[in-house]
Amino acid sequence: MTPIPAEALPPECMSGTFTSHGLIPLVITILGLVFAIYALTKAFQWLREESDARRTKTSPPDRRTAKAWLLGLWTLLPTAWLFIEDIFLYRAYGKPACFDFFRHAQHLVLTGWLATLAVLTLLYFGKEILSRD
């Protein structure tokens, strides 16, 4: 897919794409960003706990279950939203002339989601993945 420059976006695609459900995607996008920030914050908190435990020669708390849940949610929820948005919302309420632009935007979101998923996986389970034991 070739990049779509901003000036090529037709004016009719700039606003009002989801005429009756415009607030839902906005709220879900904001919740997704908040969840990503929360998951990353917890990752750094847990890394700090492990570092402190190594320094004081104590065992760190077992966070495997919490890490697995957060990573599982981060894996499933955004993909479910992209599917729902594409299949149900856009096809029912979107502008047909703007579908290519919508798909390009979804591709950009998908790329960011995959990058965040990779970072979270390494932060949460990097030692287990990279260990040679």
pLDDT digits (tens, 9 = 90+) for 12-33: 776 655 555 567 777 888 898 8
Predicted pLDDT at 93: 77
114 pLDDT higher than 60: yes
Domain ranges, ordered by start, for the chain: 22-130
Q: Are 6 and 109 in contact (CB under 8 A)?
A: no
pLDDT in tens, 46-90: 999 988 988 998 988 889 999 999 999 999 998 898 888 888 888
132 pLDDT higher than 80: no
Sign of the C-alpha dihedral computed for residues 104, 108, 109 and 115 taken in this order: positive
Predicted pLDDT at 75: 92
Predicted pLDDT at 1: 53
Distance between CA atoms of 44 and 32, rounded to whole angstroms?
A: 19
- pTM greater than 0.75: no
